[in-house]
Amino acid sequence: MGAPQAARVVSVAHTAQLDPADLAEARALMDVAFGPSGGFTDTDWSHALGGMHALVRVDGVLVAHGSLVQRRLLVEPGEQSGSGARSLRCGYVEAVATHPDHRRRGHAAAVMAALEAFAPAYDVLALSASDDGVPLYAARGWVPWRGPTSVLGPTGPRRTPDDDGAVFVLLGAPALDLDAPIACDWRDGDVW
């Protein structure tokens, strides 16, 4: 007989419902998953707070995490559209990570499934995809936003061309023109 399968438990809780030890464990996972090069900062972690967290534990050990926070996205009318700009209530996915020793076992997909369950509460779900994350998101039906990206900054709208093509959305209702310009609300650090 083979070794018994490890028990995977997926839990979902709001930041306010997690105790400090859970939050510290999730923050530490980010450092391990993103590496020592500073790929994930305290500012990045602050973006993941204030919403819902999906946590995957195997035999009681946290091996994967992701969160969903509310943001506002402004979609400007595209060339094909006869309507004006639309402000969308967005569920924005942050801090998706899996411990390197536990990758390729479906843990990130379990995190995404738990977060995607909240889609009916929003006009759209969105995220900024790393090159490594694109296959996961594409396989789950997320599609890249093709239009130009911007941020509504303190001094007014500012283009974010480095983010063009990296913003992915999970479409539902309402229908959106993926070629239209899109802007996110301002925040410190990485705006997308």
| pLDDT, tens only, 101-156 | 999 999 999 999 999 999 999 999 999 999 989 999 999 999 999 999 999 999 99
pTM exceeds 0.85, yes or no: yes
- Please state, in angstroms and rounded to a whole number, the distance separating the CA atoms of residues 87 and 184: 10
User: Does 192 map to a domain?
Assistant: no
Tell me the residue range of the domain where 53 lies.
8-185
CA proximity to 115, closest of 72, 69, 80: 69
Q: What is the pLDDT of residue 102?
A: 96
User: Does 117 map to a domain?
Assistant: yes
Q: What is the pLDDT of residue 154?
A: 93
- Please state, in angstroms and rounded to a whole number, the distance separating the CA atoms of residues 90 and 109: 20
Q: What is the pLDDT of residue 80?
A: 54
At position 153, the amino acid (one-letter code) is: G
User: Does 48 map to a domain?
Assistant: yes
- For the chain, what is the domain count? 1
User: Does 2 map to a domain?
Assistant: no
Long-range contacts of residues 13-18, Cβ cutoff 8 Å, at least 24 apart: 13/52, 13/53, 13/55, 14/51, 14/52, 14/53, 15/49, 15/50, 15/51, 15/53, 15/67, 18/53
User: Does 109 map to a domain?
Assistant: yes
**Is the CB of residue 192 less than 8 Å from the CB of residue 128?**
yes
Does residue 3 register a pLDDT over 70? no
User: Does 72 map to a domain?
Assistant: yes
Percentage of the chain lying above the pLDDT 70 cut = 93
Q: Which CATH number belongs to the domain containing residue 109 in this structure?
A: 3.40.630.30
User: Does 127 map to a domain?
Assistant: yes
User: Does 3 map to a domain?
Assistant: no
pLDDT in tens, 5-32: 678 999 999 999 999 999 999 999 999 9
Does residue 85 register a pLDDT over 80? yes
